[in-house]
Every structure is written in C-alpha cells, then in structure tokens.
Amino acid sequence: MKSIQNTQLRWVRDNLFSSIGSTILTLITGYMVITAYRGTVGFIFSPMRQWPAITYNMQLYMIFNYMEEESWRAWASVGVALILAGITLGYWNKGEKKSFNQIVAGLFKTFSTLSVLVLLSPSETEVMHNDGSREMVQVISSNQRMNFLIPIAVVTLLSFLLSRFSITRAFNKTKVVLFYLSFPVALGWIIKVPTITFDAAGERIEPDLFLPVATTTTIPWTILYVVLWVSFFVGQFLQKKEIKSLKRTIPLSWFVLPLYLFSWLYKKPVVELDKVLMNDIPGVLIFSVIGFLIIQYITDERFSKYRNYLAAGFFATTAAILFLRIPFLFKVLTFSVVLLLLVAPAIANTKEGKRQLLIVWLVVIAVLAFLLRGSGSPTGIITPTGSFLGGFSLTWVLAIFGTYVSFPFGVLLALGRTSSLPLIRIICTGIIEIVRSVPYITWLFFASVMMTVFMPEGVEFNLIIRVLIVTAFFSGAYFAENIRGGLQSISKGQYDAANAIGMNAFQRIFLVVLPQALRAVVPTLVGSVITAFKDSSLVAIIGLFDTLRIATSVVPTQSNPVNFVGTQLDNLLFIALFYWMFCFTFSRRSMKIEKKLGLGER
Amino acid sequence: MLNKFSGLNIKNFWWDVRFLKWSGQFIFLILLITGFLYIFNTGVRNLEATNLPFSWGWLGDTPGVSISEGFAPLPNSGRQMLQVGMYNMLRITLTGVVAATFLGTILGIARLSKNWIVEKAATGLLEIVRNIPLLVQMLFFQYFILTYPPLRVADRGDITVHVSSKGIAYPWPHPQEGSWLFASFVILSLLISRRIFKWRIKILEEEGKEPYPFRWSLTVLGALLLIGWSGGYKAMGVIGIVSTLLSQLFEAVPAIAYQSLFAIFSLFYGYKYIRRQISKSNTGELGGILSDEDYFRMAVAGFLVIAIAVLMFLPFGLKIGEFLEGDEIFYKADWGVPQYFTGIANKFDMSFSGDPYELSYPKIIQVRDTKFTRYSKDHGKVTTVGYFATWLGVVLYTSIFISEVVRSGIMAVSKGQSDAGLSLGMRPRSLLRLVILPQAFRVMLPPMGNQYLNLAKNTSLGIAVAYPEIVAVGQTLYNQEGQTMAVFVIWMGFYSFVSLFISGIINYYNRRFELVER
C-alpha cells in the first residue's frame, strides 16, 4: 500500500505542483473549473427550469410535423440503420478483448469521478428576479444528493473490491460496449421522471407527478436494442463464413442507406403504377441490354477504334437530353453508360471480369431505378408545412445529402484547379474563390429568395432542394481545396506509369489518381460531415424547421395547453448537448479511423 | 513527344495538340458564358415581370427604418444604411481578430502545458466549444443576457458598471479634441522604440555585450507616451500643416492632370512588366521559349493596364459630354481630393489642447417622460445584447481553432531544436522566444489567416441575434425595396474585399517569413 501511495503522491506533485508557477496555475484553474461546474449544475437543477418542456416535445424535436399514425416509420428507419450497424460491427470484429480487471478498473475510475462530482455540486444557487432582486434558492436537497450518491458509491465500492481479485476472464470489446448501452435502456424501465399530466378538466397538474417513462418510448428502444444485438451476432456469423463479397457490399449499403431511407421508408412515396410500367421497366431492360452489348464487345478489335467516338456520342446525348422532358431515369442511365464506356476497357478483358462487371451494372441500374422512383414520386405524408422533413430528420438530411452532393462537385473543381489548361484553371479558381469569400448564410438567403428568379417557367424546386444545391457549391468549394492538397501529393511517377500502360486521361483520373488522392482526404471527409451537421443549423434563419428553430421559436411559444414561454435557455442547452453528443462521437471515430489508416505516417 | 512548340503542322492542323487544347478551353468558356447568360436573361425577364426591375436608385432613397446601433441610427439613404452595416461588421472583425489571437495563443500553449489540470481544462473547453454549432452558442449568449432584469425608471442616474437585458454599460475613455494627434503620436513612439530595439540587438551582434533591448525600448516608449499625454502630442500638428498645403496644391491642379499622370504611370509600369517577362524567358533553362502561362500573363497585364488608362480618362470624357451640354466653360472631374486633405487638416490642428482622452461613466436615462429607459449613448460605453452575443460567440469559437493551429505549429518544430537549445544552456523562456516560436510562426501563419477569414465570415450570423451587421441590414433593405439582386452583389463585393484584404496581409507576412530554398 505504501508504494502505491508514494507513486500517486509523486504523480500529483509532478503534474500539479512542480513549481511555484505551476502551483498558482493549478489553484487558479482548479477554482475556475469548480466554479464553472457548480454554476452549471445550479443552473440545470434550478427550480426556474422547465425540463418537461423537452420531454413533452421530444417528438416535435425529432420528426416535427410527421403524421402521427405513420411515426413508426421513424423507428423503422432507425432500426434499419441499427441492423446495418450491427452487421458492420459483427463482420469487422477483430476479436479484441478487454479483461475483466480492465473493465472493473474503468468502472471504478468513472464512478469515483461521478461520486466526487455529486459531492461537489452546490445545494443552493442565486436566482435573479425581474425586479432585480436576488435570492438563494435550494437546488439539490440533501435527500436528492443521497439519492444520487448511494447507487454511485455502491458501484464504486463494488468495483474497488472486485479489482482486488485478479480475474483473467476476457470479454470482446464491442460486446462490452453493447453491454454498457443496456444501462440507459434498462434505466428507462426503472426510473421515474417528472411527467406532465392533465386532470379530467384538461388542466395541467402542478407539480409534475413522478411517473415511469412512457411505454411508447421504452418499448421501441428495447426492441431496437435487441435488434442491434441480433444483427451483431449475424455479422459475426457472416465473418466466420468468410463471405468475401460482403467486404464491398456493406460499405456500399451504408452509402445507399440514407438514399433508401429518405426516398422510400421515411418518405412513403405514392407510387403510380403506370409510370413504373411505362418508364422504369422498359428503361431498365433497354439499358441492361446496352450494357451487356458494351461489356461483351468493348475489347473486340473491330470496335476499339470507335470506343472514344461512342463515349463522346453518349456524352453529347446526355448533354442534349438534359433539358428535355423525358424521365430523369433515362438521363441518369445515359450518363452511367458514358462512365461504363470509359471504365470497361480496363476491366472487361477476362471472362471473369466481364461477368463481374455485368453483375455490377445490372445491380446499379436496378438500384438507381428503385431509388429514383421513390424520390420522384410525391410523398404520402401530409403535413402543415408541406414537407415531410422537420426537426432532427431535416438536420440529418441536410448533413448527409449535403456531403453527398458536394463531394463530386468538390472533386471536379479540384481536378479543374490543378489542370494544365490555363483557362479552365482560372475559371475553377475563380469559382472557388467567389463561392468561398461569401459567408454561408448569404448563400442561404440567395437560395431562399433569389434562386426562384433565375429559374425558367414552371420549374420549381422545394426550398430544401435549393438549400442542397447551394450547399453543393459551398461545401464543394471548401472540399476542393482539401482534395487539391491530396492531388498534389501524388508523385509524377503514377501519371507516367498510367500513360505507359496506355490509359487515357479519364481512366487515369478515375482508376489511378483519385483513389490515392481521396485516401488522404478521408479524415477531411468525416470532418466535412461534422461541419455539414453544424452548418445545417443555419437553415433556421431562412425558415426551415430544423432542431434549432424548434428549440428557439416553436417550443418557447407554446402557451396552450402547457405554458413554455421563456424556456429558450433550457431548450438551447438541450440542443447544445444534443449536437455535442453527435459531433463529439463523430470526431472521436474520425480520429480512430485516421490512426487506423496510418495517415500522416511514413 | 517532340518539341511541342515547333511550328504548326499544317497537314494535321485539326489534330495538333495546341489547337485542341486551346479550342477545347474556348469551347468550354463559351458554353459557360452561354449558360450564365441564359440564367441571367431568365432572371432579368422574371424580374421585369414583377414590376421590380434591377436598379441602383434605391441607394439614394431614404429608407424608413432605424438601426439599433451604429454611427447613424437614422440613416438618410440606402448607401448610408449599408455603410452602418459594414461599420458594425468591421467593428467585430477587427477587435475580434485581436482578441481571438490572444485567447487562442493562451489556450494553445495551455494545451501543451505539463500541468495536468491546465491541460485537461483547455482540452475540455476545446472539445465543448468545437462540437456545438456557432449559431447555438451565439443564441445561448443572447438569451443569457436577456435573463437579466430590464431597466426601470427607478434606475435612472449615473452608474459605474451595470448589466441588464439591454446590455452591459461600463466606463470608457472618450476621444476629445486632440485624440487624432495623440494617436499618431503613439504610432510614432512605437516606431521609434522599435528602431531602438533593433539598434540594441545590433549592438549584441557586434559587441557581444548584454544590450537589454526590452528595457531600453520600453523605457523610451514609456517616456515618449508620458510626454505625449501631457501636451507633446501637439507636435503632430505638423501633419495638419502639410495637409493644408497638399489640399491647396490639389485645389490648384485640375483633376485631369493627376488622372493622366496615373494613367501614364500604369502604362509605363505595364510596359516594363511585359518587357521583364519576355527577358526573363530569354535567360535560364527555357532559353527563349515562352509557355502558355507566360503569354496568358502578359495578355492579362496588357489588358488591365489599358483598362486602367481608359478608365482614368473615362470620367473626364463623360464630363466633357456634360460640359458640352451645360454652359460651364471649364469642368473639373471632382474626386474630392482637396476636401479630403482639408478634413485631415481639421483633425490635426496644432492649437488643440487638453487631455486627448477622458474617462466617461455611463448613465441610465429616461426617454422624455415615457416608461422607456435606456443607457445613454453619449456617456460611457454600452455593449448591446447583439454585439455581446456575436462578439463573444465568434471570438470563443475562432480562438478554439486558433489554439489548434498554435499547438500544431509548436509541435511541428522538431524536438531536436529544443534539445540543442537546452544543451547550449538557454533558459526555457529564451528557448521559447528565440528558437521555437520563430520556426513555429512560419508554420502557423497560413492556417491562422484562414481562421481570420472564418471569423470575418462568421460575423454574418449576427443576424440571428439581432445585431445590425451587413447581412441583417441588407435583408432589411431588400425586404423594403425589393432589390435582392443588388443587395446580393453588394454582399459579395464587400465580403470579397474583406477576404482579399486579410489574405493579402497574410500573404505578405508569409512571403517575408518563408524559407528561402535553393
């Protein structure tokens, strides 16, 4: 025991009190941190706060005006995402284990910190009234403090005792994390929270009764938790079976997942069957035949001369039909044929390559047709604001789709900026500088007020689509600068090698240059998702009902049947915590990915 | 590939690489311009259909709105209203840049500290502020101030420091007569003390004695400031005399004279630039071959120079037209240069006396027998809710990113440098100042400039907290006048100008400090 104490005391002395200056700094910083903590806790537990405003309006925050009877779709969307997450976690599980002692030591650290925090929290805080008078009100009674402290102290003691034994049993790291997730789910069934209740006359009962959490919340979360575990085991099973093709399929599924959710599951499109029969099925059939012909005969010597003409021809066709009134599916598929023509010669050389390319082509056009049918049909969700997106679903859409559309645009701009042709370089540099020099909110005003002026007759885009177009330009320009750095880091030898084996410029860009450049900017891509997530809050200023606007304008103006006027600060604190949770998790994961990819290391 | 700059191949003209490259670029340019013109024409057509054609006339009209803060609460024209917006935005940008750099450097160094609690506290603050959207933080500060009690009639009178839901009031020095003289005197003193600092450093290099540069320069600075405060600032009245002379000079000379002088200088400089480009390619490895790049640059330079020359004469040309129509015999293009110098002379009058700045305490006043009370604008200084929320939000957010820049800059200096310095017997404090910071500064500069640009652009979120900066003012204007396109063009122009200005300063320092490599 004596040696342990000496080590810990030495650590304290070296890290906190190593010199006079260090001691002063420790005291000052410690005082500031403790005061800030006590102020925050006093603020949170003050009787002036109305936290039921948030629990009562949680559905408003998440899906805003979504139809009540269809709200299961929101749960289903989360469920589908969790299934994919579970399978991913299980499939790529490396089997890293955490020993029992490590787990218990971690628990001890966490819960001892929590008990210190509970002991440090204030019992009174100063409240200012409107007439300028201040009084001290009690925030945490000693009864409440004991209620918090006893379970935490028990767990602390238990983990301390258990750490005395050295047990070598080890558990899978991911399973441990999933097990920790069961605590909030279980707590939901056990604890009682202040709930807003109404009596027979429709009046609110004050003070709020302590009731268990509503089953409309606990049951779905429990089901989703079980689903997560089941899909984790499925993923592990698939890993054992060593199905190699899943290695590419699962990331592609992640890419397609938001598109699927927001054009089918969450959107509930009203599909017109005659459109399906007249447009989709003929289109898919025609283009699969075209694709088959191309893949079959592209490497044939008779047609090798005409390859470039064919590609140019299809490209010109795409440009020509872009403004005609034919189904969007055909325009997209024609453009895909161009890409196929450019990529096929390098892959369709062997019989195996031809087979795989054909399968990929068929799957791609089927998925495209499916998604475009969903997004092209009107939605079956009828809401007062006209859009089925609102609250947190809108934030997600803006962040994810914003990144999706800005990525290709950024790549094109970066390629143009590093081009050897001076005019194209000047134009792309000009676009990037002009777009970047103006703040984002100005572009949002442009999208909301001025873009309609520039559109020809009859063409009308939803405000959300306009915001996404503007985001494509803006984030794309920022992105282009980062990709440019990646592009410039590729050695000239790569270009020479690609030329030596006879690749043309497009093949070189898509098969050699871009994969290397983009690998270096993957951390920036994740950072860009985080930035898009934070910037999506700006649409509150132009009138879209995202989480922030609901927190500042919708909830604090509710006066009937519950009066939540003046709760802006509470709602903002909740929103801040909400955003913080997501952004912090993303940035942690991106740091881990960066370490895994070994970027920045020679 | 053969030398691709040999003469054009007549037989295979259409497939010559140079022709394809340039024709491809021109076709792309033409397509882009066509697309742009199409969109533009659609816009013009749609605008005309709504009875609100695009015009600039509203810049002169009086808007019927008042602005909550700025130098002209009741602007007399659209132009002045925009100027108030720009002034408000620049207020936050300039003070915010200084404060954010200061705070960010402290936080960055704190994150590298060996003290556990200091490092954890700085990292905690960084993680908290970085992961919450800036708008949420600004709104939080706004609503925080709004929870303070409002001003009541019973609070009337003089106060020292006061916080209410109208803002924060505190004492502040107000400039008196001699403030401009004193400010220029301070600048002169700073230059003199910097010169003395450099002189003492040179003595160190030549003689090896300890020169105490800081003690010398700071003592001189302090002494000069004392002299200046107690009346020595009047010596800067010399500037006023010179301005009066200059304004008389420009009064006498017609505008066409200095316009044509400027045009001649620009033509001369353009000619020299083109000659230098041509001669540069005659030497060196290229030996007489100019790349497309060089041709392009020369063409652009020539175009710019001729454009400047034409523009210089254009106002005169326009005025000639007026002269022919009107009945004035001799017309000067009026640029306002003499008045400008007279204005300077008025501020730098040598006969001013008294303290340049006087501390003034704030006051709460009642507005003319109504229940409405506010802080007096002429006493002390008031930080309104909008200014407080915008300034604090932007400074906190940007200082976090600057702390990251500082930290990565200091960590980029290899450990061998500090080892070498310590092994020479340097004290840790001198080590930081003489070895690490100069090298780190070079790495830090471009990302720091980027953060300054972000700060300038983030001030635009002031519209959400009711701060009347340029975006908010522009929105009010276009809601009133309906001229969204014009306001948008002004936004773009203003922000481009500010961005270019900040980038220019950063690039200048970048070039001064960058490593000169072989």
pLDDT, tens digit, for every residue of A534-582? 999 999 999 899 999 999 998 888 887 777 887 888 899 999 999 999 9
What's the predicted TM-score (pTM) here? 0.85
CA A541 to chain B, closest CA, distance in angstroms equals 7
Give pLDDT, residue A362.
92
Give pLDDT, residue B461.
94
Banded pLDDT at A392 (limits 50, 70, 90): very high
End-to-end CA distance of chain A: 44
pLDDT of B125 > 80? The answer is yes
Are the CB atoms for B217 and B193 separated by under 8 Å? yes
pLDDT digits (tens, 9 = 90+) for A265-283: 998 888 888 877 788 888 8
Measured distance CA(A572)–CA(A549) in Å, rounded: 10
Give pLDDT, residue B328.
43
pLDDT of A212 > 90? The answer is no
Q: Is B114–A453 a contact, with Cβ atoms under 8 angstroms apart?
A: no
Q: With contacts defined as CB-CB under 8 Å, which chain B residues touch A22? A: 114-115
Q: What is the ipTM of this complex?
A: 0.89
- Mean pLDDT (chain B) is 82
Close Cβ partners of A86 (under 8 Å, ≥ 6 residues apart): A227, A228, A229, A230, A231, A232, A234, A235
pLDDT digits (tens, 9 = 90+) for B214-231: 888 889 999 998 888 887
Give pLDDT, residue B102.
94
> In a 10 Å sphere around its CB, with 0-12 CB exposed, 13-18 middle and 19+ buried, how is residue A142 labelled?
exposed
Q: How far is CA A493 from CA A55, A75, A343, A513, in A?
A: 60, 51, 22, 11
Most confident residue range from A40-44, A486-490, B294-298: A40-44
Give pLDDT, residue B453.
92
Handedness of CA B327, B333, B337, B338 (dihedral sign): negative
Are the CB atoms for B219 and B337 separated by under 8 Å? no
Measured distance CA(A524)–CA(A594) in Å, rounded: 10
Phi and psi, residue A66, nearest 5°: -55, 145
Handedness of CA A344, A345, A347, A349 (dihedral sign): positive
Residue A600 zone, left/alpha/beta (φ > 0; ψ -120 to 50; rest): left
Interior/surface letters A4-33, b for 16+ CB within 10 angstroms, e for the rest: eeeeeeeeeeebbeeeeebeebbeebeeeb
Residue for token digits 């369709």?
A348
Banded pLDDT at A1 (limits 50, 70, 90): very low
Q: Is B121–A442 a contact, with Cβ atoms under 8 angstroms apart?
A: no
* Chain B nearest-CA residue for A579: B132
Q: Is A427–B32 a contact, with Cβ atoms under 8 angstroms apart?
A: yes
Give pLDDT, residue B289.
60
Banded pLDDT at B330 (limits 50, 70, 90): very low
Q: With contacts defined as CB-CB under 8 Å, which chain B residues touch A128? A: 147-149
Are the CB atoms for A26 and A16 separated by under 8 Å? yes
Interior/surface letters A425-436, b for 16+ CB within 10 angstroms, e for the rest: bbbbeebbeebb
* Nearest alpha-carbon partner for A282 in A230, A216, A327: A327
Measured distance CA(A6)–CA(B389) in Å, rounded: 48
CA A25 to chain B, closest CA, distance in angstroms equals 7
Give pLDDT, residue B332.
47
Q: Is B460–A569 a contact, with Cβ atoms under 8 angstroms apart?
A: no
* Chain A nearest-CA residue for B137: A576
Q: Is A538–B28 a contact, with Cβ atoms under 8 angstroms apart?
A: no
Measured distance CA(A532)–CA(A258) in Å, rounded: 15
pLDDT of B403 > 90? The answer is yes
Mutate to test the interface with A, among B40, B136, B290, B473 (most CBs of A within 10 A): B136
> In a 10 Å sphere around its CB, with 0-12 CB exposed, 13-18 middle and 19+ buried, how is residue B450 labelled?
middle
Mutate to test the interface with B, among A453, A531, A579 (most CBs of B within 10 A): A453
Q: What is the mean pLDDT of residues B319-323?
A: 51
What the block records as the tokens of B66 is 């008042």
CA B492 to chain A, closest CA, distance in angstroms equals 6
Give pLDDT, residue A35.
92
